[in-house]
Structure 1
Amino acid sequence: MTALKANEVARYLQRPDLDEGIFLVYGPDTGLVRETAQKLIRFYAGDDPQSASIVTLEASDVDADPSILAVEAKTLSLFGGRRIVRVRGAGKSLVMTLSELRDDPAGAVIVLEAGNLTPRDALRALVEAARLGRALPCYADSDETLAALVRETLATAGITADPDVIAILRDILGNDREVTRRELEKLTLYAADSKTLTREDVLTLCADNAALVIDSILDAAGTGHAERLETALNRALGSAVDPQRLLIMAMSHFSNLRRWRGEVDAGKSPRDVLNALRPKPHFSRLASLERQLRLWTDPALAAGCERLHQASEDSRRRSALADAVLRRALLAVCMMAAAN
């Protein structure tokens, strides 16, 4: 039985141990499933992919004609190259057909692409139990694998990035490998001439991540940076982020600051307070949050919370003016921070 672990797949792809067989690529990250299948196909197609015979089937094709998979696998290539059969959307309906190929794939490489499969799934069980079968799980990138992918991509393009770029990209990307690749391609294209990538570049080009934009707004207001606040607000409102949602997030942020400030007033250091939080803030925000805890006093935070609470009520009563109410309230809070 050969069942690879997710962290073993990348290394396995560099040197697969079978000359023929059934490869099941599965998991919730559809982009990574597709990328892994393509890497397998490129490996087995070799340096001369034109000599390989590559056939792509949909699972529905096999459902309509169960014999087609076996026929394609056993058909000799006209040019004498390796026979590669790729099946997209594979599921347990293929089990019967694959049963006759599991021990004798007739020299073919069969690459199956599937979604997330449980250990008891019939297709996964068949491939994992086959002598000539390998199952390759594909799960969403971890912080470590995503950081490695970003570094590799930027290094290959000869791009130097600001120290916090990788941390920001970890917050934005990682749910789908295909999306991650597209975003990294966009960033490398943008920096193709300058060969540098800044935090602001990433925020500008990848501003569809609402949580990241909101963090930028809150940190700018909390540290008294009016220009950064204006830039972040324009980006968020231009991306149709709800101003009332922003006010709610701002109230929550400054309420948390007041609670944390209470611990500082009781004798703890700002960094110790932040390190004890669960979930812990991302390290890319720690310096900003620590600065906010040092800038603000409890009375000032109480006044700031009251200002935001009033703005939230005003925005609900006069929804047409919600953008203006939001801007005025956050600028007022920002000025309070700058005066501390």
Structure 2
Amino acid sequence: MQLSKAPEIERFLKSPDPSVRVVLIHGRDRSGVGERAERLCKTVTPDLNDPFNVSLLTETDVEADDGRLENALSALSMMGGRRLVRLRLGGERVPQEKALAAVLKGHADGQFNADAVWVIEAGNLGRDSALRRAAESQSGAVGIVCYEDETGDVARMTREALQADNVGLTREALDRFVARLPRERGLMRQELERLILYIGPGSGRQIDEAELEAHLGVEPQASFQDAAQQAFGGRAAACQGGLRRAFAEGEAAVAAVRAAGQHLGRLRRISAAIASGQGAREAAKAAGVFWKQEAEILRQVKVWSPRDLQEVTEAVALAEVRTKTTGLPDRLITERLFLEISARARRLGL
């Protein structure tokens, strides 16, 4: 069985089906994968460091192929109750994937200790992954896909975290903060903690947009986001300025390429929503556009056609690969990408 929608994932993590013996949690956001895995594991045993009931294995243990995984799945709990076996895999490539998929099928069918719960944490697995296919096809297994959090989910998590510490943001400040948050769960939690410390935990204070801006300051990632917006708006000089501010802070070029990809994705989502009949402002809000940027974003949406956006998507993907693999100066690759986007925007009339 596959779970990919936030409500169904939340229901499962709170109260997992006792007939499920294997859970594969995977996605690009490794912090999100780890966070969900930990929540699930705590429903099996409250002490995740219990040496008698918990086995923690890594990718190295799988590569060794010395029977440790099968032994962990076969072991009985010394204290009674369910055992927990955690397997953490590194990147998107899974070592001995077919062998792991075979073990998964066997454990889901009850061939090892039927009271052992096996939780696997992995990177982004494609639909052709043998491990993913096995988890989604077995009746005793579940595959959970962790996609990037939607804007509404991020806003909800932010409100809940602030309320838990008795602090708050005005509506405008909340919109601004959510628009600036990274979508990687670990970084998101860090930014929330930093904001709560700034406001004062337990103080009952609520800050407005002006005070929030004083806290945020000029961040490198914000410079990348601004550079991407300027590039798609056809403003080459302003675009270069944003890039160079971030580079001066030591930020990696690949982060700038990803910022371009995020802006591109936002334009595509808004364009698709409008094409399906949604109002322009509603589409922009649903895509997480900060209200002060709404007019500029909608101006760009009117000009960038789906075909133009697709061509830029390919250019962004190629630039990201080049920054990681070619050995060429990654900042020059990034600047060239942004200037090409800016030049195309000017040719389109922006």
The amino acid across from 2:292 in the alignment is R
Shift of residue 171, structure 1, vs aligned partner: 2.3
Equivalent residues of 1:94, 1:123 under 8 A apart: yes
Structure 1 residues 161, 201: CA separation in 2 closer, same or farther (over 3 Å shift)?
Answer: farther
Shift of residue 202, structure 1, vs aligned partner: 4.2
Rg comparison, structure with higher value: 1
Question: For residue 62 of structure 1, what is the aligned residue in structure 2?
Answer: 62
Distance 2:198 2:288 in 1: 30
Equivalent residues of 1:27, 1:138 under 8 A apart: yes
Equivalent residues of 2:44, 2:83 under 8 A apart: no
Shift of residue 51, structure 1, vs aligned partner: 9.0
The percent identity for this pair of structures is: 27
Shift of residue 48, structure 1, vs aligned partner: 9.7
1:125 equivalenced with 2:138 (yes/no)? no
Question: For residue 17 of structure 2, what is the aligned residue in structure 1?
Answer: 17
1:153 equivalenced with 2:161 (yes/no)? yes
Question: For residue 196 of structure 1, what is the aligned residue in structure 2?
Answer: 206
Structure 1 residues 277, 95: CA separation in 2 closer, same or farther (over 3 Å shift)?
Answer: closer
1:210 equivalenced with 2:210 (yes/no)? no
Structure 1 counterpart SS, 2:132: helix
Matched positions, count: 242
Shift of residue 207, structure 1, vs aligned partner: 5.8
Distance 2:160 2:52 in 1: 30
Distance 2:177 2:284 in 1: 22
Structure 2: stretches of 5+ with no match in the other structure: 231-240, 251-279, 297-350
Of 104, 109, 117 in structure 2, the residue corresponding to residue 109 of structure 1 is 117
Of 274, 289, 292 in structure 2, the residue corresponding to residue 282 of structure 1 is 289
Structure 2 counterpart SS, 1:164: helix
TM-score (norm 1): 0.61
Counterpart mapping for 1:68-79 below 5 A? 68-79=68-79
Equivalent residues of 1:70, 1:101 under 8 A apart: no
Distance 2:49 2:162 in 1: 28
Shift of residue 6, structure 1, vs aligned partner: 3.2
Shift of residue 110, structure 1, vs aligned partner: 0.3
Counterpart mapping for 1:296-315 below 5 A? none
TM-score (norm 2): 0.59
Question: For residue 172 of structure 2, what is the aligned residue in structure 1?
Answer: 164
Structure 1 counterpart SS, 2:171: coil
Distance 2:172 2:60 in 1: 46
> CA offsets, 1:250-277, max 9 Å, x none?
xxxxxxxxxxxxxxxxxxxxxxxx9699
The amino acid across from 1:200 in the alignment is E
What CA RMSD, in Å, does the superposition of the two structures yield over aligned residues?
A: 3.7
Structure 2 counterpart SS, 1:87: strand
Shift of residue 283, structure 1, vs aligned partner: 3.9
The amino acid across from 2:40 in the alignment is L
Structure 2 counterpart SS, 1:100: helix
Distance 1:189 1:68 in 2: 44
Structure 1: stretches of 5+ with no match in the other structure: 218-232, 243-273, 290-340
Structure 1 residues 81, 277: CA separation in 2 closer, same or farther (over 3 Å shift)?
Answer: closer
